[in-house]
A and B are shown apart, each in its own frame.
Chain A
Amino acid sequence: MNKILYILLLLVGSLTAQETKMSSAEITSFKSKVKTTASKTKTIANDFTQYKHMDFLSEDIKTSGKMLFKSPNLVKWAYTSPFQYSVIFKEDKLLINDEGKKSDVKIGSSKLFKKLNQLIVNSISGDMFNEAEFIMTFIKTEKYYQVQFVSKDKNLKKYIKQFVLSFDKKKYSVIEVKMVEPSDDYTKIVFKNRKENQPIKDEVFNN
């Protein structure tokens, strides 16, 4: 029994040890590589799985769908399971299709969406390391790079404690987004099957 405990402790120790902060030289290099990747990326088509974690629930709520991006700032989130729901971020509006019921929301009244969208779009355009807006922590592990963003905006902080973006270590593209609430409940979105620079028609971003 003691042996098992010892091995477990070792494992936990080594797992936590894997997460280290980047040096300032590494941060500079990381930022520039993310920007280079982003400038080359004109379109992205991604599958995603979203996990909503709330401490009082027995299981995370799992939803999934597709995310489409077209440079410079068109984004479509489409949930396909277990329901059909899509949001298009377009100019100053959110175009929502809730199982066939279509509506527009002026983005000004949905600050959270706006910020999340900005982060996604900015992580692609490479222009997200905004020190005026966020306190940032840069981390590397064996599997990925990670940036933790803590907003300096008091209003946003009431809703989101921090955004965490994880990056592929070879491609410098976003593979995971996590939004942590002040209560420590969180939403985690994991991207997979990323296809870059395949043509996506503008009509896809109409409701």
Chain B
Amino acid sequence: MTQKRHIKFILISLLILLGLSSCTLSTTKDLVETNITKTIFTNPYFSDTTKDYVYKANIEVYGKHLGGLMIIKKTANKHHRVVFATEFGSKILDMELINDTFKINFVLDELNKKIILNTLKKDFKILLQENHSIEKTYSNDGAIVYQSQVDKRTNFFFVNDCSRELKKIVNTSKTKEKVVVTFDTIEKSLAKEVSINHKNIKLKIELRHL
């Protein structure tokens, strides 16, 4: 009888533990909070107005593959232009991020859906916004992590301890990771490989610098 109660207790404890862990954000699980050393974090990529950032794009969306060219240009302070075009050069989407708001210059009818455009807007905001006020700083093996609040979401910027390169941005709600952006093959503030990976929908955007 006592053994049965014992097992029941263990089971309930496990359930509570599981329940609890699914409610806490996994991003900060292995992180140790440290003192804040700076108040603003600056994303160095896509920040040079003299450069054209041209990428071959591969988009996987719910099992479908879509290829094209992703062209990003900082045209002025707090002003980016983003164009997604076919390999032939026909524009699919042409938009501008000015301060906090997007302006759509052109979108192909097939893509002109609120849910698609809103998702892309959010993604490019994470990717392109340069300055973020830091609320918390963490560290773990080999990385410094800056936490910044944007509207209802939180961005975590993972910076390599040695190279000082921004390697990853994790965009989260209070309890779940939503979008993970990774930067690889970095050369002088140019990320040659960028991946935007959605956790709640089957959407992955991979960019390779040309």
Contacts and interface: CB of A to CB of B under 8 A. Distances in A.
Contacts, number: 62
Interface stretch (B19-27, B68-76, B154-162): B68-76
Given A61-B69, A98-B67, A103-B65, A56 B81 contact: yes
B91 to A, nearest CB: 7
Interface in A68-95: 77, 79, 82-83, 85, 87
Contacts of A109: 110
B31 interface: no
B149 interface: no
Nearest to B83: A54
B62 interface: no
A116 interface: yes
Interface stretch (A13-21, A33-41, A127-135, A179-187): A179-187
Contacts of A193: none
B89 A83 contact: no
B148 to A, nearest CB: 29
A56 B87 contact: no
A83 B83 CA distance: 18
Nearest to B69: A61
B56 interface: yes
Interface in B44-87: 50-52, 54, 56, 58, 65, 67, 69, 71, 73, 75, 81, 83, 85, 87
Interface in B1-24: none
Nearest to A51: B89
A50 B85 CA distance: 14
B88 A101 contact: no
Contact of B73 (A57, A85, A87): A57
Contacts of B116: none
A10 interface: no
A181 B65 contact: no
Q: What is the interface of chain B mostly: helix, strand, loop, or mixed?
A: strand
B56 A116 contact: no
Contact of A83 (B50, B106, B210): B210
A57 B87 contact: no
Interface of A: 50, 52, 54, 56-59, 61, 63, 77, 79, 82-83, 85, 87, 96, 98-99, 101, 103, 109, 112-113, 116, 159, 179, 181, 183, 185, 187
Interface range on chain B (Cβ under 8 Å from partner): 20 to 34
B90 interface: yes
Contacts of B51: 58
Nearest to A112: B90
A187 B71 contact: no
Contact of A58 (B50, B85, B210): B50
B90 A159 contact: yes
Contacts of A54: 71, 83
Contacts of B71: 54, 57, 61
Contacts of B91: 159, 181, 185
B89 A179 contact: yes
Contact of A96 (B67, B85, B208): B67
A56 B210 CA distance: 18
Contacts of A52: 69, 85, 89
A187 B90 contact: yes
The 10 A-B residue pairs with the shortest CB-CB distance in the complex, in nearest-first order: A187-B89, A52-B89, A98-B67, A82-B210, A57-B52, A83-B56, A85-B87, A112-B90, A56-B81, A58-B52
A113 B92 CA distance: 13
Contacts of B67: 85, 96, 98-99, 101
A82 B192 CA distance: 14
A63 to B, nearest CB: 7
Given A58-B50, A61-B71, A98 B88 contact: no
A185 B56 CA distance: 19
